[in-house]
Amino acid sequence: MSAEPTAASWFAEEWVRHAGTVLESLAGERPKLTCKPPAAGVTLSGACEETAREHGALLWWEYHFPLSGEPCIWIGAPRNACTQLAARVLGEAGVEDEAQGRETYVEILQQSLSELGRSAGRRWGLSLNCTAREATDAPADTEFWLVETTFPDATVPPLLVAVTGTVQPPGETAPAEVKAGNEAGTQGGVQIPSSRTFDLLMGVELPVSVSFGQVQLPLKEVLKLTAGSIIELNRLVDEPVEVIVNNCVVARGEVVVVEGNYGVRIHQIMSRQERLQSLP
């Protein structure tokens, strides 16, 4: 797509950017997402038929922006794409439940659309009360793009992104309806259905341990260890300890005592890059 997108193509490109971020957060790795226009002469209805024939029926969601011209972005995902994206997220959480595939894909979609709504609000200088809902069918033939999602080991079937309505550039449009965005049932100004996917993931048990330090000893020194032996670790007394989840350092903090039990007061949450570097 062009370096300076039109007002309509901006929605598609911006959603793709947020979708990559959400997938990185939930699946543990950021795929390469490419948004490109269809081949000359290809209509949306034609692309839908071809995609459904090759990769399964499409699940469509529409996302309305309360702006003049009533712009709306439509996301269509074939069944195989939903399955593969959901498997990435559930696999990262150690969950093997194909029955949760559709719901997990919807969670990915809702989070990315929520971020898109916030981006649109910043771009147009408004607090937008956007709405997302599942659509029964694709929109009538309109401007659309193909989104290819590529992981290091696989390529996901393409998604379809369409934009309807008359999109006015920022500064040339008035809001059809603007609300504070903090009402019940909204998420950052976005009204979206609730999902049980996170409830499923929150129930996953992970091993948590605290590391006070480590040291490498020759085998002959290990064999000399007896009750009362002291092993000097590679961490000073006042240095923070590491909180380890699933063999990955996720935080650092100080040791405290809570009602006679040891605990850790968190001082630092590790960044994604730092977490990756800590993996064995």
pLDDT recorded at residue 8? 80
pLDDT recorded at residue 172? 54
- Antiparallel, parallel or unpaired: β 190-191 and 130-135: parallel
Q: How far is CA 125 from the centre of its chain?
A: 25
CB 188 within 8 Å of CB 85: no
- Whole-angstrom Cα distance, residue 163 to residue 6? 11
pLDDT one digit per residue (tens) for the chain, 280 residues = 444 557 788 999 999 999 999 898 888 888 999 999 999 999 999 999 999 999 999 999 999 999 888 899 999 999 999 999 999 888 887 777 777 888 889 989 998 998 899 899 888 888 888 888 999 999 998 999 999 999 999 999 999 999 999 877 776 544 444 443 434 344 444 444 455 555 666 667 778 888 888 888 888 888 888 888 888 888 887 788 888 887 788 888 888 887 778 888 888 887 766 777 777 6
Q: Where are the beta strands (DSSP E) in 28-175?
A: 32-36, 58-64, 72-78, 130-135, 144-151, 154-164
- State the DSSP string of 53-74: HHH-PEEEEEEE--BTT--EEE
Q: Domains, the chain, ranges and CATH? A: 7-202 (3.40.1550.10), 208-278 (2.30.330.10)
CB 56 within 8 Å of CB 79: yes
CB 239 within 8 Å of CB 267: no
Q: Which residues of 62-73 are buried (b: 16+ CB within 10 A; e: fewer)?
A: bbbbbbbbebbb
- Alpha carbons within 13 angstroms on the beta-carbon side of residue 203 total 5
SS3 242: strand
- Whole-angstrom Cα distance, residue 201 to residue 95? 8
pLDDT recorded at residue 264? 87
Alpha-carbon distance values, 141 to 17, 52, 63, 135, 144 (Å): 24, 16, 17, 15, 9
Give 195's contacts (C-beta < 8 A, 6+ positions apart). Answer: 103, 106, 107, 110
SS3 194: coil
* DSSP summary character for residue 138: P
